[in-house]
């Protein structure tokens, strides 16, 4: 099982996901995390003091680990200097969430929702960026994998132009790498991949759920939606809730 964490934010008008991939050791060659988008539900419990005008449920975008169905993505805000700040929500793993006031939590959760919708709007327009950082706890290889940044190009064409047997749409991605000792990414190569139309429909559905603060009971194809109740462990980390 590949362990990883993810930051979701907007940078250079691109919906950006930055993965910190935890490598198991110098011989680990599994570089790609198994992930998908998910929704975190921040719900104020009955009996908690809450302003009458504030909604009792906030939804925000996240990323989950396909191996254990746990949410591992947090929404970050980018300031005017390009620095990232993790938003403090009732589902946040940031210890400051425990100390935050009701007003602060509501403001942060509203901002998380706003950034989630902005992120999804850009993602659906093809303005996408995915970054990969590789973290070694020990035994780093002599030539560790370089940090990568994949940026989807806006120009789309049909695969029929390349392979005459199909007319499926494909997207082009540019890969950038950060060389040792350097601070900037440099262009490496370009690749193409087929566009997943089902994923596009799912993302539009996710947008509507977050916009209206209401989880859907089914996926767009009619199958029941997967819902994973969670709770914090002694370290404050979210884990699947035991029955």
Average pLDDT over residues 24-46: 80
- Global pTM exceeds 0.75: yes
Q: With b meaning 16 or more CB within 10 Å and e meaning fewer, what string describes 129-140?
A: bbbbbbebeeee
Average pLDDT over residues 162-176: 68
CA distance linking residue 26 with residue 139, whole number of Å: 5
Closest CA to 89 of 62, 69, 53: 62
- Largest Cα–Cα distance of the chain, in whole Å? 63
**Continuous segment of H or E residues that includes residue 105:** helix 102-124
State the pLDDT at residue 53. 52
Report residue 162's pLDDT band, with 50, 70 and 90 as the boundaries: very low
Collect all residues with Cβ–Cβ distance below 8 Å to 226 and sequence separation of at least 6. Answer: 69
Report residue 165's pLDDT band, with 50, 70 and 90 as the boundaries: very low
| Residue 200 scores a pLDDT above 90 | no
| Residue 101 scores a pLDDT above 50 | yes
CA distance linking residue 213 with residue 58, whole number of Å: 6
Please give the span between the terminal C-alpha atoms of the chain, in angstroms, as a whole number.
23
Tallying the residues shown for the chain, one arrives at 243
| Residue 232 scores a pLDDT above 80 | no
pLDDT (tens digit per residue) in 79-100:
877 789 888 766 555 555 556 6
C-alpha dist (Å) from residue 7 to 19, 104, 149, 196 = 7, 21, 14, 23
């Amino acid at each position: 099982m590949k362990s990883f964490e993810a930051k979701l934010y907007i940078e250079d008008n691109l919906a950006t996901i930055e993965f910190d991939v935890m490598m198991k050791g110098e011989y680990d060659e599994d570089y790609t995390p198994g992930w998908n988008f998910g929704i975190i539900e921040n719900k104020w419990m009955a009996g908690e003091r809450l302003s009458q005008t504030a909604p009792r449920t906030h939804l925000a975008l996240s990323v989950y680990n396909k191996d254990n169905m746990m949410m591992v993505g947090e929404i970050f805000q980018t300031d005017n200097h390009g620095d990232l700040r993790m938003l403090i929500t009732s589902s946040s793993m940031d210890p400051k969430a425990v100390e935050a006031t009701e007003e602060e939590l509501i403001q942060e959760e509203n901002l998380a929702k706003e950034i989630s919708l902005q992120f999804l709007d850009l993602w659906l327009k093809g303005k996408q960026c995915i970054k990969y950082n590789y973290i070694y706890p020990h035994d780093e290889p002599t030539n560790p994998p370089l940090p990568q940044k994949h940026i989807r190009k806006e120009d789309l064409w049909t695969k029929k132009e390349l392979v005459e047997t199909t007319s499926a749409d494909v997207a082009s991605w540019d890969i950038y790498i950060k060389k040792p000792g350097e601070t900037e990414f440099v262009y490496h190569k370009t690749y193409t991949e087929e566009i997943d139309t089902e994923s596009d429909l799912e993302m539009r559905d996710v947008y509507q759920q977050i916009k209206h603060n209401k989880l859907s009971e089914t996926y767009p194809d009619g199958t029941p939606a997967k819902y994973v109740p969670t709770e914090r462990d002694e370290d404050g980390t979210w884990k699947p809730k035991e029955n």
